[in-house]
Amino acid sequence: MARAQYKIDFIHFLVRAEALKFGTFTLKSGRVAPYFLNAGCFNTGETVHLLGRFYAQALLDNKLECDIIFGPAYKGIPLAVATCNVLYSDFQKNVSYAFNRKEAKDHGADASKVMVGAVLTPESKVVLIDDVITAGTAIRESVEILKSNGNPKLTGILIALNRMEKTNDGENAIEQIENSFGIPVRAIVNLDDVLEVLHNKELDGEILIDDARMEEIQKYRGQYGV
């Protein structure tokens, strides 16, 4: 099956925005990885809008049904807002968003509320949106937040990049989440897509993944990949 053009465009977009980098990076999990995705690099009107377009396209392409998009604090917040914006402007789909507070609010009428945005109920259909899943810890925390705040129906999880890694217990991180909660986890692109699009191929006059770097990535995958 031919790779969808928007996936190729997304990988080029990640590189040009300097969100996807190659080198040596220590992840939150403690793993030392040869590549890193930083969604915090999307900090202009243009890049946030384009990012929202890719998420919206992937959400529709994967037929993830929802009336609310939940973006966990902090990085998930702009992802949720941007995606809702594009779903309305480009696809005429009016979807709400919600996110959680990490710190308790100590003033105002809703001081005790953890959630901001659309009100969640058991009838709400929610897609959780984030950047990556490595060990799945952050996703599990988000699911617990949703259960404690309206207990909506979680219909899917959408991330930017599937790193295609296993947990510290040796299980496929994505499959473990899917099996634990009975919901699909989808990604705009996965690591195989990235390698296919960038290995020994020039982008703006530069080869980001040459044979030496490819060997580093494959060595890392041999230890942590699925």
Among all residues, which ones are annotated catalytic? 105, 107
Check whether the bond before 74 is cis (ω within 30° of 0). yes
How far is the CA of 127 from the CAs of 69, 104, 152, 210, 219, in angstroms? 5, 24, 10, 36, 34
A 10 A CB-CB count for 201 gives 10
Neighbouring C-beta atoms of residue 169, cutoff 10 Å: 8
